[in-house]
Structure 1
Amino acid sequence: MAVVDLIDLPAIAPPNTPLVGLDLGEKTIGVAVSDATRMVASPLGLIRKTKFTDDAKALFKLMESRRASGIVIGLPVNMDGTEGTRCQSNRAFARNLLRLREDLPIAFWDERMSTMAVNRMLVGEADMTRARRADVVDKMAAAWILQGALDRLRNL
């Protein structure tokens, strides 16, 4: 399977199975998961990046434990709508995942401002210190990304 358009994901991923959302950072991968009805996204955890194969193994293990059937990866599009090197890196990550699991449906979601929005929420509403935010921001950003995609799918 190839990377699919987000609106095609529900037809490809088996019904009543969760989706996983990813926020790909330089050092970590934030992971979130939806419920089986794909209504609500929740932060799940962090994968500390090492080698790609180890990162993929950890991701697949998380997916299997939740019976997740597809992935939504945040795409850090520039504010002017262009794609820079981070977008290329995220697309390459998806291609590499597909080399390991050809049957895995993967879609992208524009993640502009997700980390900033999460940081603002963690400071303003949760009153978290900078050190504590560093531990949760990537998985919260993954949940923000996945929730945005779920909301879009619900409003088709």
Structure 2
Amino acid sequence: MILLGVDYGTKYWGCAVGSSATGHADPLGSLKVIHQEPDWKTLDQWVKEWRPDAVVIGVPLKMDGTPFKVTKKAQAAAETLRDRYGLTVYEADERMSTVEAKDELFDHKGKKALTKSNVDTRSAQIILERWIYMNL
């Protein structure tokens, strides 16, 4: 199964593509969000190119599992993805994915690697790989 991973954000969405067969995800890039809408043109191209069977979107939760204000926005984005692409969209717990992404990027490539795009994209990979490991 091919899966599209999304690290939801109010300013950017990080995206990755992965396979349930390998449990591995690769970066696609970061989508700028303008007026609460991601770069649909680029996302449409990725969906057309990769033809995912489903989408996994990270939903932010506090460490105790309670929602943030932005949690409902991420869940609304999941519904929009379902409607737009007709795909199953799984909501994944994204706790600590950004921290892990920053740590990995810094350890491997130093401070210069900590761009918003790199962090969001790596976070999407982490969210997707965790979801595959836990669910398939």
TM bin, normalised by shorter chain, reads: 0.7 to 0.9
Write the mapping of 1:45-56 to structure 2, written as runs, cut at 5 A: 45-50=29-34, 55-56=39-40
**RMSD, aligned CA:** 2.0
Q: After the TM superposition, which of the residue ranges 64-73 and 44-53 deviates more from structure 2? A: 44-53
Q: How many residues in Structure 1 have an aligned counterpart in Structure 2? A: 136
1:118 aligns with 2:74: no
Query: What is the letter of the counterpart of residue 91 of structure 1?
Result: Q
Cα distance, 1:53–1:76 mapped onto 2, change above 3 Å = closer
Q: What is the CA deviation profile of residues 118-137 of structure 1, one whole-angstrom value per residue up to 9, with x for unaligned ones?
A: 1111112321326x532311
More strand by proportion, 1 or 2?
Answer: 2
TM-score, normalisation: structure 2: 0.88
What is the DSSP-based 3-state SS (H/G/I as helix, E as strand, rest coil) of the residue aligned with 1:83?
coil
Q: Where does residue 71 of structure 1 map in the other structure?
A: 55
2:27 is matched with 43
Q: Deviations over 1:59-81 (max 9, x none)?
A: 23201201212100001111111
1:81-138: per-residue Cα shift (whole Å, max 9, x none)?
Answer: 101211101001112223323x3100011000100111111112321326x5323110
Structure with higher Rg: it is: 1
Structure 2 alignment gaps of length 5 or more? none
Distance 1:34 1:136, change over 3 A: same
Closer, same or farther: CA 118–56 of 1 in aligned 2, 3 Å: same
Q: Deviations over 1:6-43 (max 9, x none)?
A: xxxxxxxxxxx310000012211100000362521111
Q: TM-score, normalization: structure 1?
A: 0.77
Match of 1:7 in 2: none
SS at match of 1:73: strand
Within the alignment, does 1:105 sit opposite 2:103 as a pair? no
User: Residues 1-156 of structure 1: matches in 2 within 5 Å?
Assistant: 17-35=1-19, 37-50=21-34, 55-101=39-85, 103-129=86-112, 132-154=114-136
Gap regions ≥5 residues in structure 1:
1-16
| Paired-residue identity, % | 29
Q: Secondary structure at the match of 1:125?
A: helix
Cα distance in 2 for residues equivalent to 1:89 and 1:111: 14
Q: Does the 8 Å CA contact 1:38/1:150 hold for their aligned counterparts?
A: no
